[in-house]
């Protein structure tokens, strides 16, 4: 992951809706195929307002990057929250990343 917005440790209001953007770089020597590689929620707090898995929008060649946008909502209870995600091919995790927010 080379970019994230909002940044980790961002402070959000309870119930606030937002979109998380991650820029993910394929540092492997294999192309990530859009028809077989997914972005998946892998644990922690379920902040996303949509599904737990998303198809890659296109094939991602080695050293290329892709922007991923996930609609989310901050919990209504104040506290610290972590939402874990990954790039998966079948059950194999190719890349891990997360979002950590504080609700105040």
Give, in order, the Cα–Cα distances in Å from 46 to each of 13, 60, 63, 81, 98.
16, 26, 30, 9, 11
pLDDT digits (tens, 9 = 90+) for 63-93: 999 999 999 999 999 999 999 999 999 999 9
Q: Which domains does the chain show, CATH number per domain?
A: 3-103 (2.60.40.10)
Mean pLDDT of all residues in the chain?
97
pTM, full prediction: 0.94
Distance (Å, whole) CA 52 – CA 44: 12
- What is the average pLDDT across 2-25? 97
CA dihedral (57, 58, 59, 60) positive or negative? negative
What pLDDT sits at residue 100?
Answer: 98
Distance (Å, whole) CA 39 – CA 70: 10
- What is the average pLDDT across 14-37? 97
């Amino acid at each position: 992951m080379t970019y994230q917005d909002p940044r980790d440790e961002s402070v959000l209001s309870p119930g606030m809706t937002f979109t998380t953007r991650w820029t993910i770089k394929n540092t492997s020597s294999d192309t990530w195929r859009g028809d077989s590689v997914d972005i998946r929620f892998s644990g922690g707090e379920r902040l996303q307002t949509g599904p737990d898995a998303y198809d890659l929008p296109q094939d991602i060649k080695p050293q290329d990057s892709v922007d991923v946008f996930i609609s989310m909502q901050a919990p209504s209870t104040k506290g610290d929250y972590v939402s874990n995600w990954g790039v998966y091919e079948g059950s194999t995790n190719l890349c891990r990343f997360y979002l950590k927010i504080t609700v105040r």
